[in-house]
Amino acid sequence: MSLSIFAALAAAAGYGGGSVVQAMASTQAAGLKVFRRPAYAVGTSITLVAWAFSLVALKYLPLLTVQTVLASALVVTVLLDRAVFGTRLRRIDVLAALAVTGALALLAVGSGAQSRVATPSWFGFSMLVLLAALIVATAVTYRRADASVQAVLSGLASAGLAMCARAAHGSGGWIDFFLTPMAWLTIGFAILSSVTFSRAVEHGTVGPARALVSVTQVIIPGLVGVTILGDTVRDGWGATTLVAVLIALVGCIILATRPAGATPHLADVRAHAAGTLDFDPTISEVEALRTTPADIVALDLAAIERFPAPRVHLAGRGRTR
């Protein structure tokens, strides 16, 4: 049990750190070009290691327990978001992160033992349908790139990954696990989750995006684990578990709002250059918001492009400059 909890905590730390590194890559490129950035490769590698740890945890712990521990990656992400990007946290953001952490701990303690009930025969096909539906939804919404929508899609893909892994573990040992079609579906869900999360942090901030992913990947697999896969809640913990779920939801909703005083995102720089964002990129504002040197250059170029210098006629020389 202790090894399983350690694996879940290691996975949470990996997911939180990998999210921030992927967010760094999203500030260097747009759209599908982000996948060529070295930072994205590093972030994806960290996420893959975290995924491997989560598979170990899912083999021995109930689905709800593992997902609630994994959701603590939110706290890692929020802290690294402040350290790396200089995002200013409101007091309510800090309180919300602490509340979510406490609620997730209650959920983990209140969950029962992993069920040995056989997975329903139709479950695998339903996961395939879910994956296909999420791929279609991603294709439809990717260009529009609403950060919240992409984060929710990433959370749904993460939920699908966890449910498939939990169902595949019921087939036996590790060799049997990797030979089941359900295990291969986890790869599709993992790729989709990574793509949509990168798009979310490209047009938003990493903390709120991780918050939406966390709440989605806890609630849905938790309900499926209890109602379909046979996972249980510890005796006498039903009401406490329900309250913890509500606290986690409220906390993640608070964190899903853009933190006050956040650093201007690269997407905002591009919007300003296109004339669709109304703010004045002065050097004083840039310094106050702790924008990176690369963003300062981008802001200056955007200002020059939108407000070109006037052409001055030089008398007697017949030319302008």
- Phi-psi label, residue 104: left if phi above 0, alpha if psi -120 to 50, beta otherwise: alpha
DSSP string, 44-102: HHHHHHHHHHHHHHHHHS-HHHHHHHHTTHHHHHHHHHHHHH-PPPPHHHHHHHHHHHH
Secondary-structure percent of the chain, ordered helix, strand, coil, rounded to 5: 75, 0, 25
Q: Are residues 253 and 126 in the same domain?
A: yes
Specify whether 203 is located in the same domain as 306: no
- Same domain for 237 and 207, yes or no, is yes
Q: Are residues 273 and 237 in the same domain?
A: no
Q: Provide the domain limits for residue 294.
A: 267-320
Confidence of residue 171 (pLDDT cuts 50, 70, 90): low
Whether 272 has a pLDDT exceeding 60, the answer reads: no
* pTM exceeds 0.85, yes or no: no
Q: Which residues are CB-neighbours of 229 under 8 A, at least 6 positions away? A: 63, 115, 117, 119, 163, 166, 167
Buried b (16+ CB within 10 A) or exposed e, 63-86: bbbbbbbbbbbbbbbbbbbbeebe
* Cα–Cα distance measured from residue 276 to residue 269, given in angstroms and rounded to the nearest whole number: 10
Which residues touch 231 (CB under 8 Å, ≥6 apart)? Answer: 62, 63, 64, 111, 112, 114, 115, 225
The domain tally of the chain equals 2
Please check the confidence at residue 298 and state whether its pLDDT lies above 50: no
Q: Which residues contact 313 (CB under 8 A, 6 or more apart)?
A: 320
pLDDT of residue 314: 45
Q: Contact, 47 vs 14, CB < 8 A?
A: yes
Q: Is it the case that residue 319 has pLDDT exceeding 90?
A: no
Higher pLDDT, 177 or 100: 100
Which of 229, 244, 262 delimits the end of a domain? 262
Domain boundary among 241, 262, 283: 262
pLDDT tens for each residue of 221-260 = 888 887 888 777 788 888 888 888 788 778 877 876 654 4
- Greater confidence (247 vs 314) lies with 247
Q: Does 292 lie in the same domain as 154? A: no
Does 258 share its domain with 276? no
d(CA 201, CA 148): 9
309 lies in the same domain as 221: no
Q: Residues of the chain with pLDDT > 70: what percent?
A: 72
* For residue 134, pLDDT beyond 90: yes
Residues 251/191, Cβ–Cβ less than 8 Å: no
Residues 211 and 287 in one domain: no
